[in-house]
C-alpha cells in the first residue's frame, strides 16, 4: 500500500465508515490506564489526520475524556473509533477499523510505564514513559 492512497475502515456493524489518507503507514500503541480501561488493553491507532471522510456521524458517540480530548465510538455496536485531540482538531483512528492497515509497522509505544505485565509487543521500537511523552508532546494522557 502506498502512503498517499485512501484507507477505508468501518465499525463492526457498518453504520460508521471512515476514509482517510494516512500520513504514513505506521501504528502507535498507547498503554496508558485510560486506554486500557476504554478498550480493555492497549490502544493501537494510526497517526493523526485532520480531514477524515466519515459517514454515519449521527451514530457516533463522543465521550470527553479530558478537557482537550474526546473518544468516539459507534452507538449501534460500541466499536471504538477514534481519539480526537481538540487543540489541533485532529483524529487518531483505531487501527483495527482498517483492513488495509494490516501491513503497517508499529513505530512507537507510549506510557510504557503504565503497561500491565501480562503482555508485551515483540520487536524493537521507541518506548516512552508518561513523563517522557509529556516532555516530548506537551500533553498528558487523556
Ligand atoms: Zn457500529
Ligand atoms: Zn492512552
Give the whole-angstrom CA distance, residue 88 versus residue 125: 26
Sheet containing strand 69-74, strands side by side:
60-66, 69-74, 80-85, 90-93
- Ligand 2 ion local residues (Cβ < 5 A): 30, 32, 35
Nearest ligand for residue 9 CA: 1
User: What is the Å distance from ligand 1's center to 84 Cα?
Assistant: 18
The residue-averaged pLDDT of 11-33 equals 96
The residue-averaged pLDDT of 82-107 equals 96
User: What's the confidence (pLDDT) of residue 141?
Assistant: 58
Give the whole-angstrom CA distance, residue 136 versus residue 114: 17
Instruction: For domain 7-137, give the CATH number.
Output: 2.170.150.70
User: What is the Å distance from ligand 2's center to 33 Cα?
Assistant: 7
Nearest ligand for residue 80 CA: 1
Residue with cell 490502544: 43
User: What's the confidence (pLDDT) of residue 125?
Assistant: 97
User: What's the confidence (pLDDT) of residue 1?
Assistant: 46
Nearest ligand for residue 72 CA: 1
Give the domain ranges of the chain. Answer: 7-137
Nearest ligand for residue 94 CA: 2
Residue range 1-13, pLDDT digits in tens: 444 579 999 999 9
Residue range 52-94, pLDDT digits in tens: 999 999 999 999 999 999 999 999 999 999 999 999 999 999 9
pTM of the model: 0.91
Q: Which residues contact 10 (CB under 8 A, 6 or more apart)?
A: 16, 17, 18, 97
C-alpha angle 71-89-77 in degrees, rounded to nearest 5:
30
User: What is the Å distance from ligand 1's center to 59 Cα?
Assistant: 8
User: What's the confidence (pLDDT) of residue 137?
Assistant: 78
User: What's the confidence (pLDDT) of residue 4?
Assistant: 59
User: What is the Å distance from ligand 1's center to 80 Cα?
Assistant: 9
Amino acid at each position: 500500500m502506498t502512503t498517499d492512497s485512501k484507507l477505508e475502515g468501518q465499525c463492526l456493524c457498518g453504520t460508521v465508515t471512515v476514509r482517510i489518507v494516512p500520513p504514513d503507514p505506521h501504528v502507535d500503541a498507547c498503554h496508558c490506564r485510560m486506554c486500557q480501561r476504554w478498550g480493555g488493553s492497549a490502544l493501537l491507532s494510526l497517526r493523526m489526520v485532520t480531514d477524515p471522510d466519515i459517514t454515519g456521524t449521527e451514530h457516533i458517540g463522543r465521550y470527553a475524556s479530558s478537557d482537550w480530548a474526546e473518544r468516539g465510538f459507534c452507538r449501534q455496536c460500541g466499536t471504538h473509533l477514534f481519539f480526537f485531540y481538540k487543540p489541533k482538531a485532529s483524529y487518531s483512528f483505531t487501527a483495527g477499523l482498517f483492513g488495509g492497515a494490516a501491513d503497517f509497522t508499529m513505530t512507537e509505544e507510549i506510557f510504557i510505564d503504565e503497561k500491565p505485565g501480562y503482555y508485551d509487543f515483540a520487536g524493537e521500537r521507541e518506548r516512552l514513559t508518561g513523563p517522557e511523552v509529556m516532555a516530548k508532546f506537551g500533553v498528558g494522557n487523556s
